[in-house]
Structure 1
Amino acid sequence: MDTNPSRHSPATRAWVHDAIALLEQETTRSADTHLLRLDFPGFPDIAFYFKDESSHPTGSLKHRLARSLYLYALCNGRLAPGQAVVDASSGSTAISEAWFARLLGLSFIAVMPACTAPQKILAVQELGGTCDLVEDPSQVHARAAEHAASGACHLDQFGLAVQATDWRGNNNIAESILGQLRREPQPVPTWIVCGAGTGGTSATIGRYLRYRRLETRLCVAEPAGSGYVQGWRQRDRNAVASRPTLIEGIGRPRVEPGFIFDVVDAVAEVEDAASIAAALLLEEKLGTRYGGSSGTNFVACLQLAAHMRARGERGSIVTLLCDRGKRYQQTLFDPAWRSAHGLHTTPWQTALQSALATGTLTPPDPSPSDPCA
């Protein structure tokens, strides 16, 4: 009988057991995130709920994913004591993975596009992680694979997010949302809205809704022309983005392996300027600053609500507040940065404020200087 002495030794098995116990203890401590409700005059028959994933210890939705990826690596025998960990990430996943690496006493390498928001890079470094910055964003996966070939455990969020997340329950985000809505006037929402980074969140929610036999529909909110938008329309897994985006975490240039088209009922395309305007509006309404993808989600909610109102429908819409806005102080929330990138948010701010009051969302006239970077 052949065995791998390093992977199957009693000491390694004991370390894996201790690591899993640490992750379970952390899960209990950070149990859940808040579900906030807002009501707007223009939509008297529609309730808006915001799942505040920024309240996780690592400040984003990716806290759930990072925990699942580490559990997946441990339970599949891919992660051993003292082994380095690597992943490709534009920021939020890397921050969460670095946090868990520190919890488990492991070194962590984040392969990131060089254009990643400086606050995100700093956050990884402050948690003890190393940032390997790549000038060409399309090469981050290849660079991560190089680290893995040298012995690091590749968590591979884009390749493994769907497999690593338990979509049937185990306090996944869909189960959490439905549980928190249980005592609300409309415990089964009309729509749930999320973005598509790895595709793991939309796959988890879409599968769970079917598993629970609910009529709730799932909308993916994405930057205009993203790889997911192009692929979903044509059911083409080889589709690529028709234009770039400045909204980090979503708007992938290609169709990632975790994207499952057939659990998604609708896709909402959102201009970058609209996403940022909506993030500014969320700060005004909730008193907290959230990132650009939260704004993307909010615009999609208003699009759906406007259609519901026009058809005389009642109901509720749930979406996600994905990460903390302070990570984008030097980019999305800096007027000079926005101006340098041709992003004009004032027309969209006016349009969104009007939608809250009237129930009708009328996009401003397109500007030739909208997202150009």
Structure 2
Amino acid sequence: MKLPRLAQIVLCATVLLFSSTAVLAAKEKVDFPNAARKDPKVTMSSREQSALNKATDYVNDGEFDKALPEIEKVLGGKKVSPYAEAFAQQLLGSIYWDQEKEAEAIAATARAVELDSLPNNAHFALMYRLAQFQVQTEQYEDALATLDRFKTETGSENADQIALLGNIYYRLDKFQEAADTMKRAIASTDEPKESWNQILMASLAELDQYGAAADVVKEQLAKNPNDIKLIKQLATIYVNDDKYPEAIAVLSKAKDQGLIVASEDYTQLAKLYANADKPKEAASTLKEGMSKGIVKPTYENNKLLGDVCSQAEDDPCAIEAYTNASAQSEDGNVDYQLGFMLFYAERGPEAKVALDRAIKKGKLRQEGEAYVLLGDIESYANNDAAALAAWRKAATFPSTKVMAEQRIKAVTSGVKLKRK
């Protein structure tokens, strides 16, 4: 995620009043009182001042094409002052970042810090911004170094700074350090950001400390009990911890409270029920979602409904769902399942149509079995020639070779195939 557009360049006040720095210093709030660094003297030419004033106004208005010539005018000077150069590089970094020229933005910002000529408030704020840029561009080791330097030179540390460090540890897969650091960040403020808890929870989950991760989410849910995002996260933690009953309890309660309004949440709950060997509840959940128009009758959802209804031994439901899925399928696998269900529902002619369609569509995972069923259907209908043709085809598949040959031997010996 990219950082939002940078705030307007507040340092323009320093440019406008550079000749009155003593007065400015008396009024300006000191952001880093523990820093050993002394504010450097602000000096620059009237030409540099004029150009930087214009460039700052242009940058604040988002008119980068007008700002760049003014910045280049300063940087291209024969004898540019360190302050003017640092300020110009800072402006340049802001423009580049907004234009998504990340490498150039980082180089310009680093150069502004390296010149060491901006007042403390601006200098250290820019150093912290550099660390943020480095995190955003996945230069995590560089960000660690920059953040360490920031802490050392400012002699201070706040919750945001600690959280950024925890974020870096997480990105580096140092999950224990990330968890410990985020706990420290959260404890150091009365208003921790939601993203901090997210990183803490994710870090604990990566460490397989699911109980602790669940506790983090439960603590947030105690404050926001209807936050569906948190509810789903808690359910996910339980699933990862193989605690399916707890995951089901969390999501089913949310559904009963009307908090679940997304198709994927209904299907997730249905799958959890199926995994917990509760196919009737799974089918009921899907049917409810479909009746409300939340769960769309897509191929995947119709197929899932057919599967759970089949597991629940609700043949009419399974046949209807598979029939709907058949019209949406790109291969013959769901048609094979439909044919199987119809065959055992003693609806032979319909089963034959479904199985023929399955074979025609192709890409079958159980093609041999489809031919066995076709042969059985023909045999029960006293069409022995058609039955033998289907079984001979089934005999060419390793998974059904023995089964098909047994049927062929029996029928050619005059034995009638009996329906089980």
The TM-score range, normalised by the shorter chain, is: under 0.3
TM-score by length of 2: 0.20
**TM-score when normalising by structure 1:** 0.22
Q: Which has the higher contact order (CA 8 A, sep 6+)?
A: 1
- More helix by percentage: 2
Structure of higher CA gyration radius: 2
